[in-house]
Amino acid sequence: MIKKTIIEMGYEEFEDLVDKHIIKDGTHYEYVASEELSNDSTQSYNDINGTLDNFERQSLDKDDHGWKARTYLKRLCELGIIEAGDYVITVCW
């Protein structure tokens, strides 16, 4: 058995962090739509460590924001905005 610490954040907080620190062109990142999630759901992202591979780094330069939540979390960690660890993003409105 392994005991873990999991960092939980709401989807709106995550969107705000992405808008402020990653997408700086004035567009709004919509986590729920880009990850195709529904109300009262959660999404887990394990081992967010701030290390991006070449594909992830290149994908940050593209305008398509779909399916990039893990990459955005890793970038926020790389920037020192969030700490490394396991994350759960909650969706509830």
Residue 89's SS3 state is strand
Instruction: Give the lowest-confidence range in 1-5, 44-48, 85-89.
Output: 1-5
Give the tokens for residue 44: 């887990």
Residue 85's SS3 state is strand
For 21-75, what is each residue's pLDDT tens digit?
998 888 899 999 999 999 999 999 999 999 999 988 888 877 666 779 999 999 9
Could you tell me the residue ranges of all domains in the chain?
Answer: 6-91
73 by Cβ neighbours in 10 Å (0-12 / 13-18 / 19+) ranks as buried
Q: Give the CA dihedral 70, 65, 63, 26, nearest 10 degrees.
A: -100
**Which residue type sits at 41?**
S
Question: What's the confidence (pLDDT) of residue 41?
Answer: 97
